[in-house]
Amino acid sequence: MNNKPKLLILIAGLFVFFSVTSKVYAHGFGERYDLPMPLLYFILGAVIAVGLSFLLIGVFVTSDTSPKHFRFEVMPASWVGRIVKSQYLYWIIKCLSVVLLVLILLTTLIGSNKPIYNFSPTFIWVIWWVGFGFMSAVFGNLWVLINPWKIIFEFAERIQKLFTGRDEFNSILIYPSELQGWPSVVLFGIFAWIENVYWGAAVPRNLAILVIIYSLIQWGGMLCFGKCIWLKNGDPFALIFRFFSKFSISEINDTDGKVFFRFPGVGFLNISKPNTSVMVFVVILLATVTFDGIKETPFWNEIHSHYPTLSYTQIDTFGLVIVPAIFLLIYLLFCWVVRYCSKEKISLISIAQSFVFSLLPIALAYHFAHYLSLLLIAGQAIIPLLSDPFGIGWDLFGSADYKINLNAINAKAAWFFSVSIIVIGHVLAVYVSHLTALKVFKSHGNAIRSQYPMLLLMLTYTAISLWILSMPIIG
């Protein structure tokens, strides 16, 4: 059955709706903290948009829908394939990645210990963590290519090949299958605590210790269990950037070098059912970026005020633990309701595993909305730091005197972007969840009924996301 006419009608319907609602958003947003109309109006508009998308998707999207319907070849394969497969290009990119890691270690160890004068804090927390997430969502999974720990390990393997003739190091231990991806979950949990709670996360000497420890963990894991096995289960950033890349508008075929443009989010349709550890990882990813937004609001500041005997670190640590736990419990509760509504005998864990990837567009959208201002304003600090990475008075590229432009982003545009990207993310989540239901459940009716609780969950989070983004930043 040819679904292209239906798909075109679906896309046209969503386009018309967003064109109408965007006028409402465009009227409203001046300064972020002084909305000219009640926030409820904007929340209702976003909720209605997501709800309408559910109706359109339910009517027009069937189990026959394929990601191939959304891909368009844009370049000839010949010269693009040569560029993509060029070993010289790979070598240059990999060398630059290793040089950056070395620069981070050197600047954190011997450069200025003041974050504003040191290259590494801005690069790690703004350019890499935030900016590279944006890049992955636009250009695809670049982390596979530029992971410096993987590159250095592969270089060590080449050296040992000269002496032993073996292509790879022999793994010392067999990776326990029941361990799944829990090392990635634990490492990301630690990373989230450092980012959101630890007071010294931006101090260069502290970063040096953290980078060295992480390097030893990665190389030790690859040596003990094998490179591919460990990177699959023990590298949290490989998981995150792979997930983000599913949102990208470009796709390169590994076999023939063909380049395709695709609609954002289509990559989510190609992900297979994850194990329990990856399911928990996705929920924690969504919960931690949400907590990062909550802890900057007056609401969280009030919590600090109510418990003066507890330190900020203690309260924030508790929040970082309890928010993901609440998210996970709520998600499992809704999955139980999905199971009940479907009237099919499928285990709760199986349903939770199947539907968890529908949360990824939401996590990515909130990541974009929350960090946009940070990237565009604080990210400018990398310009003078490139000329003076150690903070010792250099001016290598003539940019050391660059002044950050605080007006680089318009508050109205930022708010419009945030609302739009959150709505789009939730619409994609509804779409992915709908297709997942069509695959998981036996009948179309059961699949549709199962989506009512998931729709309620997504509508609720749409409202919560906009409420958080509307709050003024405290501290």
How would you class 199 by CB atoms within 10 Å of its CB: exposed for 0-12, middle for 13-18, buried for 19 or more? exposed
Q: What is the Cα–Cα distance from 4 to 143, expressed in whole angstroms?
A: 34
**How is the chain split into domains, by residue range?**
4-470
Other CB atoms within 10 Å distance of the CB of residue 458: 27
What pairing do the DSSP bridges indicate for beta strands 259-262 and 71-75? antiparallel
pLDDT digits (tens, 9 = 90+) for 201-247: 999 999 999 999 999 999 999 999 999 999 999 999 999 999 988 88
Q: What is the Cα–Cα distance from 217 to 236, expressed in whole angstroms?
A: 12
- pTM over 0.75, yes/no: yes
Q: What is the Cα–Cα distance from 42 to 39, expressed in whole angstroms?
A: 5
**Residues ≥6 apart with Cβ < 8 Å to 56:** 10, 13, 14
Asked if 348 and 275 count as a contact pair (C-beta separation under 8 A), the reply is: no
How would you class 5 by CB atoms within 10 Å of its CB: exposed for 0-12, middle for 13-18, buried for 19 or more? exposed
Q: Express as a percent the part of the chain with pLDDT over 70.
A: 84
Q: Hey, what are 320's tokens?
A: 């970082």
Checking 329-338 for CB contacts under 8 A at 24+ apart, the result is 330/457, 331/283, 331/356, 331/359, 331/457, 334/453, 334/454, 334/456, 334/457, 337/453, 338/450, 338/451, 338/453, 338/454
Of 368, 374, 373, residue with least CA distance to 409: 373
Helix 276-294 with 182-196: angle, nearest 10 deg: 10
Q: Average per-residue pLDDT in the chain?
A: 84
Over its length of 475 residues, how does the chain's per-residue pLDDT go in tens digits? 454 444 444 444 444 443 333 333 332 233 344 454 566 777 787 888 888 887 877 776 666 655 555 666 665 556 655 666 667 888 899 999 999 999 999 999 999 999 999 999 999 999 999 999 989 988 888 898 899 999 999 999 989 888 877 777 888 999 999 999 999 999 999 999 999 999 999 999 999 999 999 999 999 999 999 999 999 999 999 999 999 888 888 776 555 556 677 777 777 777 788 999 999 999 999 999 999 989 988 889 999 999 999 999 999 999 999 999 999 999 999 999 999 998 888 999 999 999 999 898 888 888 888 888 889 989 999 999 999 999 999 999 999 999 998 887 777 777 778 888 888 888 888 888 888 888 888 888 888 888 899 889 988 888 888 888 877 766 5
Task: Return left, alpha or beta for 398; rule: phi > 0 is left, psi -120 to 50 is alpha, else beta.
Answer: left
Say which amino acid occupies 202.
Answer: A
In this prediction, residue 235 carries a pLDDT of: 97
Q: Hey, what are 308's tokens?
A: 């003066």
